[in-house]
Amino acid sequence: MKLLKNIDKKTFIAIGVLLVVLSIVPHLAKLSTITLMSRIFILAVYAMSYDILRGYTGFINLGHALFFGSGAYIGGILFTKIDNTMGVFVLAVIITVIYCSLAAYIMGKIVLRGGGVIAAAMITLALGEIARNTAERWRSVTMGADGLPFKIPDIFRDRLGFYYYALIFLIIMTIILRQFILSPTGRVLMAIRENEQRATFLGYNTSKYKLIGLQVAGITSGLSGVMFGILNRFANTDLLSVQQTLNALLITLVGGTGTLYGAIVGSAFVNTVQNYLLDLRSVHPIFERWLLFFGAMYVVVVLFMPEGFVGLWNKYLKDRRTKKNSRVFEKGL
């Protein structure tokens, strides 16, 4: 079972229990909670896509929402212009994969010509804004700033049913991305993150590997966009904005950059806190300014817990393992 490689028995049992709980919870929860959890699952995939870039290649892409928003729009436009059937959903997935792969390739070819991390961040920011402006002005197709409401396939209409689809989507994408990270290509990306020059003198064309990373991240982001569009039955230009990119960045920061699973923890934490703060608006008017609390929370996380939740946990486990190995090593001497 290559898929279960590197997963110890305890983790395997924990994942099993978690999946059982996640399967039962929606039957006991309110509709709003089910929707919130579906949102957590989808945004976790989106944040994982960002983590592939930021966490595994050190590449800061401020235009990452370009893929996410495009996925939502591709689904919405096809459901509106053709039909809201499963066949069209499959078509939307295929077109999203092709579109995001091509867009990531073009973005990569422009950005990876050199110039460093800051230049890359600025160029991707500009590319993202070009996409957002294009969507805003192309009213005949996207309905501009008003946003595009659309009907979705019947199979996705039931919130409870969609919860399970979102959960399956998260599981499948987590497995795929985990395999990608554990693959030789993933290992090279980790080496690039640590020291790009060292990777080059081992014979790796780092630009090529970064491009692969960007394409994988772009496609994953696009697919999460399709699912997010279906969840909301709506797409607007906010989904293409830099704010949407920053959401992914903040989720990965809170969960733990470069950990992959951190995106899931981060998405659960950020979305739950956001939802809670929004609910508190009816308690006191100060919570109308919920973004202030949110901002303060991020500052606290970055200052006192820069590794994020999963990063901290991994660090604890690694230190424990290293101490254990060191003891064995010393005994051997």
Partner 1 sequence: MNPLLKVEDLVSYIGLYTILQGVSVEINQGEAVALLGRNGAGKTTLLKTIMGLVDTRSGLIKLDGESLVGKPTYGIAKLGIGYVPEDYGVFDQLTVEENIKIAMWKEDKPTLEKRDYVLDLFPDLKMAYKRLAKTLSGGQRQMLSISRALVNENKIILIDEPSKGLAPVIIERLAQALKEISKTTTILLVEQNFALACAVAERYYMIDEGKTVDDGTIEELKQNTELQRKHLGVI
SS3 state of residue 60: coil
Do 253 and 302 touch, CB atoms closer than 8 A? yes
Question: In the range 290-319, which residues lie near partner 1 by CB under 8 A?
Answer: 318
Report if residue 11 touches partner 1, rule: CB under 8 A.
no
SS3 state of residue 87: helix
DSSP state of 266: H
Among 96, 142, 206, 215, binds partner 1 (CB under 8 A): 206
Among 111, 152, 188, 214, binds partner 1 (CB under 8 A): 188
Of 24-32, 78-86, 181-189, 238-246: span binding partner 1 (CB under 8 A):
181-189
Helix axes 31-54 and 159-182, enclosed angle (nearest 10): 20
Minimum Å gap between C-beta 331 and partner 1 is 10
Of 24, 134, 156, 152, nearest to 80 by C-alpha is: 152
Report if residue 203 touches partner 1, rule: CB under 8 A.
yes
Report if residue 194 touches partner 1, rule: CB under 8 A.
yes
Among 12, 276, 316, 329, binds partner 1 (CB under 8 A): 329
Among 200, 275, 293, 313, binds partner 1 (CB under 8 A): 200
Closer CB to partner 1, residue 30 or residue 331?
331
Q: Which two tokens stand for residue 70?
A: 């495009």
* Interface with partner 1: number of residues (CB under 8 A): 25
Among 191, 226, 249, 270, binds partner 1 (CB under 8 A): 191
User: Secondary structure of the chain: what % helix, strand, coil (to 5)?
Assistant: 80, 0, 15
How far is the first Cα of the chain from the last one, in angstroms, to the nearest whole number?
35
SS3 state of residue 234: strand
Which residues bind to partner 1, rule: CB under 8 A? 184, 187-188, 190-191, 194-195, 197-206, 318, 321-322, 325-326, 328-329, 332
